[in-house]
Amino acid sequence: MKLYTYFRSSAAYRVRIALNLKGVAYEPISIHLTKDGGRQHAAEYRAVNPQRRVPSLALDNGDVLTQSPAIIEYLDEVHPKPPLLPTDAVARAKVRGFANVIACDIHPLDNLAPLQYLKRELKQEQPAIDTWYHHWILEGFAALETMIRPGPYCFGGEVTLADVCLVPQMYNARRLKVPLDAFPKLVAADAACLMLPAFDKARPENQPDAE
């Protein structure tokens, strides 16, 4: 199994966490998103993933899975232990809702492609781009701070999909110097997760392609 990844990609970071939690071995294949104009645009990688995004998970049978939520759902179905979703339907929906605030609302607006579009096509200066980035994280985190449940993790005593999505977004927020003082519950859940080997091993700075 091969994971096409980039150390700073939060979507790839999510999948690395899930693979580690499930104890699934994989070979990381680095796709640098900024060198040489972005190596995701090379014909070789376009043949793997026509969307030219990471992550992509190449299975041993030749199938390639794309989009981190779909990959994580696949892993949870094929490797059900430990589960990343609660057994109760309402609890599952709440965990998915929390995760989707990140994966569907925050991340798409602050991903590399839209940030590059703001700079290159719309000619925005970096301070304006940084303001954009901070705005959408702060909007999303304000909602998540009210959605999170008593810990140590986002939804109690077991790691869920919510944690898998939160930790990479917290990394991004810190890297871009987003103030986190207003989100003590998110900060606490993030800290609890990062004490676990599966999360620690997935950290960007612990990847072979880290710079």
* Contact yes or no for 52/40 (Cβ under 8 A): yes
C-alpha 64/C-alpha 72 separation (Å) is 13
User: Which CA distances in Å does 94 have to 49, 112, 148, 160, 196?
Assistant: 31, 28, 9, 11, 23
Contact between 43 and 68 under an 8 Å Cβ cutoff? The reply is: no
Tens-digit pLDDT profile for residues 184-197: 999 999 999 999 99
Query: How many alpha carbons fall within 13 Å on the CB side of residue 81?
Result: 0
In order of start, what are the domains of the chain with their CATH numbers?
A: 2-82+199-206 (3.40.30.10), 89-196 (1.20.1050.10)
Token pair listed for 75: 């892993």
Render pLDDT for 161-207 as a digit per residue (tens, 0 to 9): 999 999 999 999 999 999 999 999 999 999 999 999 999 999 999 99
Q: Which residues of the chain have pLDDT under 70?
A: none
